[in-house]
Structure 1
Amino acid sequence: MLLEDYTEGIVLTGNVYIDETYYNEKALNRTLRNGKELRGISKNKYCIAMDFDRENVYAFLEGMAKPTRERTRDAFKDHIARGSHLIHDREKSHKVLAEELELSEERYDAREIEKLPEKKNPLAPINRQCFMLKDLLNAHPGFNRKDLQGVLNLFCFMQNPPHDKLEKVEMLLRAIVYSQKTLKYRDAWK
C-alpha cells in the first residue's frame, strides 16, 4: 500500500533499455482450448513492460499476451524522457515510443543476439532486470495475481536508488509515519 504510487515519478533518461517479460497466469485460471493450454505468448501470460537506464528500473503490468502499440504507449509515455536513446529488440510496439517521444534508437534482432554470450549481448542490462524480476516472482508463486502491479512496484523500489539498505528502511519508515492512508484490520485479512 505504501508503494502504490512509487513508480509514478520514475522517468528514465539517456540510454534506455526496454523489453517485455511474461509471467504465467495461475494454473486454475488458464484458458484451455480442446482441453489443452494455449501455447506461446497467449492470454495465459501477463505481459510486464520494463525499462532500465542503468540507474533506475521501471516495471508496469501491460496486460495479457503480446503488447500493442497503445498499451506500450500508455505504459512508457510518462516514464522515458523526450530525446533519450532507446535500445530494444525489434518488437513492433516499441516504434510508437520512438516516434512520439522523439527518441533515437538501436534495434537488435532478438534471434541473432540470443546466440551471443551474455557479455556481448547489447540487451544484457535489461535481460538481467527481467531475470531478477522473474526470480522474485518465482520465489513467491502463490501471490494473488491481482496484486501483480504492487509486486512490480516493490521490485522497482528494491532495485532503484538509494542502494544503501538502511536508507531504504528509513524511506519506508518515513512513508509509514507520514502516510495519510489507512488500512483496516478487516481489509488486511480479507
Structure 2
Amino acid sequence: MVYINETFYPVVESDKTVKDGKKLRGLSKDQICIGIAYDGNHVYAHVEGFGKTCQKKTKDTFINHIKPGSHLIHDKEKSHKILIKELKLSDESYDANKLKKCKDKDNPLNPINRQCYLLKRFLRSHPGFSRDDIQHYINLYCFISNPPADKLEKVEMVLNSAIHLTKSLRYRDFYASKS
C-alpha cells in the first residue's frame, strides 16, 4: 500500500512573478511542486518542478520508487493515472475537496497529508535556505523520517558514509578554488 500526493512550497519573495502589478496566485510557477510517497514506514519526496504537476512529472518522480502491482491510495489528481497504468497498480482515489471537512482520524488520506504537513513544517523551520538547494533539504527530511528510529543508529549511518567516502580534497585544490 502506497500513498502519494503533491505539496507546494513557495519560491523566494524576490523571485515571484508580477503580472499587471499583481503576484500570481494559486498553483502557479511561483510554487515549487514536491511529489511525496509514503508506505506507512518510508517517505520518499522529490521536487517535480514549478506549478501544477502533469503526467510526465509524476511519472518521472515516482515510476522507479513504487513497486509494480502495489495498491495506490491518492487524491483524484489526473496525473496519477499514468502510474496506475504503467505499474499495473490497484488504486483507491478520494476527492480531496470532500475530505476537507473530515476530521483527521476519519480522513483516508491522513497518512500522506501528515507527511506533507511535516515536510512543509521542516522546510519552514529553515526559512533562509536557497530554493536551489531545496532537494537537499527534502533528502534530509526523508533521512530523518525514515527508519531506523534509533538516533544512534542514524548517527552511525552518517559516520559510516562519511568514513567510507573515497573522494579526497587536496589542500592546494581547496585554496585554489577560493581565489
TM-score by length of structure 2 reads 0.94
**Which consecutive segments of 4 or more residues in structure 1 shift more than 2 A?**
180-189
Match of 2:140 among 154, 159, 162: 154
> Structure 1 regions of 5+ residues with no counterpart?
1-14
Distance 1:185 1:165, change over 3 A: farther
Give me the whole-angstrom Cα distance separating, in 1, the residues matched to 2:147 and 2:106: 26
**Match of 1:34?**
20
CA deviation profile, 1:94-140 (whole Å, cap 9, x unmatched)? 01000000000000001111110000000000011011101111011
**Match of 1:82?**
68
Between 43-52 and 177-186, report the one with greater CA deviation.
177-186
Task: Give the SS at the match of 1:50.
Answer: strand
User: How many residues get paired?
Assistant: 175
Give the RMSD, CA atoms, in angstroms. Answer: 1.7
Identity in percent: 50
Give me the whole-angstrom Cα distance separating, in 1, the residues matched to 2:76 and 2:66: 18
| RCO higher in structure (CA 8 A, sep ≥6) | 1
Deviation of residue 180 (structure 1)?
2.3
Do structure 1's residue 65 and structure 2's residue 51 form an aligned pair? yes
Amino acid at match of 1:126: I
Distance 1:55 1:188, change over 3 A: farther
**Match of 2:102?**
116
Matches within 5 A, 1:158-173: 158-173=144-159
Give me the whole-angstrom Cα distance separating, in 2, the residues matched to 1:107 and 1:41: 21
Give me the whole-angstrom Cα distance separating, in 1, the residues matched to 2:115 and 2:124: 14
CA deviation profile, 1:130-163 (whole Å, cap 9, x unmatched)? 1110111101111011111111111110010111
**Match of 1:19?**
5
Do structure 1's residue 104 and structure 2's residue 87 form an aligned pair? no
Distance 1:181 1:152, change over 3 A: farther
Deviation of residue 181 (structure 1)?
3.5
Task: Give the SS at the match of 2:163.
Answer: helix
Deviation of residue 35 (structure 1)?
1.4
Determine which structure has more spread, i.e. the larger CA radius of gyration: 2
Deviation of residue 88 (structure 1)?
0.3
**Match of 1:143?**
129
Distance 1:181 1:122, change over 3 A: farther
